[in-house]
Structure 1
């Protein structure tokens, strides 16, 4: 191939490349325009060149964006920082998802510097962004400014004990007054920070869902967790999947699950013994738990799982019944029919009655004594059957 042919090939390649880039740019701009105020381009195989297109769009966009999702792409710090120059002007944002890209602590630090712009932000998700302690502590200083923040998701980062201890001080001081969901899963945390975290969590007034999956926990940590859960009436869902949770840990935790509704314990080391012990606790104690995730444990007896799920189903029915009692009016005959169903152990009829009660509109709260009586009767149904 002579020099002229080589130059022609290079020129042709350059032309084709530019055409592909322009075509890609036009496609992405069309996608962004179709998003309206909910900008969601997650999992679109975007890179830094696409990020530059998004940055230009953010500068020119006249719509007040309320949602910004770019998660699960191949955007690096360079592309993300380009976008931040335009993103900071969209101060009505309520959701920001940037996780599972190639963003590191450099890009996250850039976001922290403009985070005070997002006064209405409710959800901040930064999964797998290589956030280290230093960067996370900077974020902790910025979080109290986000008065409306409801969900903070930082799983799969490099946040260790120092970072979590810093966050625990915010929790103890009740600085995050609207936070309801906290996801710390798969971070290199140990008992050095988890124990102070649960000590601070005793003062929790807002967090209802807590993810601590994929974090190794020793018995000392479990003991402090149990002390916390025994009195915590706010937390409803706890994820302890793949934490090394064993029968010994279960023996500590089971009696203290007073108010929790949902517990995830997948991929741990629980055996039939732990499930049998928990069934005994459920039959004797008044717990509110309605779901327990036990996939991939060392449980060999399926009947134990069936018995456990039956008891959890009873709790669910009791909870639904109480909600209906509180939210709907019932005349004397309706109250009597519910009591009879509880006494006769007709769970199917209770479910049908719950469906009927959904159609009622006026509100009237049943006396607390009657509610407690119904709970007790339904709670002991299994024991009555066996006798």
Structure 2
């Protein structure tokens, strides 16, 4: 192949590549325009070139976006930072999902710098973004400004003890007043931060769902968790899957599950002994638990699982009956309130009618007085000529 043929091939390749890029850009732009307020391009195999198209769209878009999902693509820090220049102007966003890309602490730090723009944000999901302690601590400083935040998801990152301790201080001070879902799973945490975390969690007033799966937990952590769960009436669901949870840990935790409703313990080291002990606890104490996930544990006796599920089902039925009674009570109260409103409205109507009648009576008296005065005036006029 001579030099001229090589240059022609390179030009042809460049031309075909540019055509493909342009077609991709047109396709993605159409996708974005069809999203309306809900920009969702998750799992579309997008890269940094596509990120430039998204950045351009964010600058030109006149629609007030409420949702921004770009999760599960191949976008790197470079592409993500390009998007941030346009994303910061969409201050009505309620959901941001950026996880499972190739974004690292550089891109996350860029997001932290503009995060104060999103005052209405309710869900922030940043799973598998290589977030380290330094970056997460920067995020912790920014989180209190997000007053409406309800869900924070940071699983699969590099957040270790320093990062969790910093977050625990926010929790203890109730700096996130609307947070209901917290996902910390699969981060390299130890008892150095987990114990202070569960100490702070005793003051929890909002979080109903907590994911701490894929984190190794020793008995010291389990003891602190048990003390927390014994008093915490807010938490409803706890995920402890793949945490090394053993029969010894179960013996500590079982008697303290007073208010929890859902507990996930999949892929742990529980045996028949732990299940037998929990059945005894369920029969002796009034617990609120209605679901216990035990997949992939070393449990051999199927009958024990059946007996356990029967007791949990009984708890579920009791819970449903209690809710029904409460709802009926609420309906009765609502009916009473409505009747009172109707009665009050009737009284107001009666009072208005009485006022109208009073006005009519007053007007009638005034009219009669005017008629009498007119008649008296006419009589005086007639008498005067006769006297002359």
Measured in 1, the distance between the counterparts of 2:307 and 2:381 equals 14
TM-score norm. by structure 2 comes to 0.85
Cα contact 1:105–1:130 (8 A) shared by 2 = yes
SS at match of 2:99: coil
Give the Cα–Cα distance (whole angstroms) in 2 for the partners of residues 65 and 348 of structure 1: 47
CA contact (8 A) 1:77 1:107 kept: yes
Q: 1:208 to 1:329 in 2, by over 3 A?
A: closer
| Counterparts of 1:85 and 1:10, CA distance in 2 | 34
Q: How far off is 1:9 after superposition?
A: 1.0
Measure the CA separation in 1 of the matches of 2:241 and 2:382: 31
Q: CA RMSD in A?
A: 20.8
Cα deviation for residue 349 of structure 1 reads 47
User: 319-328 or 90-99: which moved more?
Assistant: 319-328
Q: Specify every segment of 5 or more residues in structure 1 that has no aligned partner in the other structure, as ranges.
A: none
Change (3 A) 1:33 1:194: same
**2:276 and 2:358 mapped to 1: Cα distance?**
36
8 A contact 1:324–1:358 mirrored in 2: no
Unaligned runs of 5+ in 2: none
The CA deviation at 1:11 is: 1.1
Alpha-carbon deviation of 1:328? 2.2
**1:14-93 mapped onto 2 (5 Å cutoff):** 14-93=14-93
Q: 1:376 to 1:7 in 2, by over 3 A?
A: farther
Deviation at 1:351, TM superposition (A): 49
| Structure 1 residue 53 displacement after superposition | 0.3
Q: Are the counterparts in 2 of residues 341 and 349 from structure 1 also a CA contact under 8 Å?
A: no
SS in 2 for 1:331: helix
Tell me the TM-score normalized by structure 1.
Answer: 0.85
Q: Over alpha carbons, which structure has the higher Rg?
A: 2
Count of residues paired in the alignment:
387
Go from structure 1 to structure 2 and tell me whether the alpha carbon gap of 1:99 and 1:364 turns closer, same or farther (over 3 Å shift): farther
Cα distance in 2 between the residues matched to 1:191 and 1:175: 23
Match of 2:372 in 1: 371
Greater mean deviation of Cα atoms: 333-342 or 98-107: 333-342
Change (3 A) 1:349 1:135: farther
State the Cα deviation string for residues 170-201 of structure 1 (Å, max 9, x = none).
Answer: 00000000000000000000000000000000
Map Cα deviations across residues 27-57 of structure 1 (whole Å, 9 max, x no partner): 1001101111000000000000000000000
Alpha-carbon distance between aligned partners in 1 of 2:3 and 2:277, rounded to the nearest angstrom: 83
Per the TM alignment, residue 2 of structure 1 is displaced from its structure 2 partner at its CA by 1.6
Kindly report structure 1 stretches of 4+ aligned residues shifted beyond 4 Å: 329-387
Change (3 A) 1:335 1:30: closer
> Structure 1 212/116 Cα, relative in aligned 2: closer, same or farther at 3 Å?
same
Q: Is the 8 A contact 1:342 1:378 kept in 2?
A: no
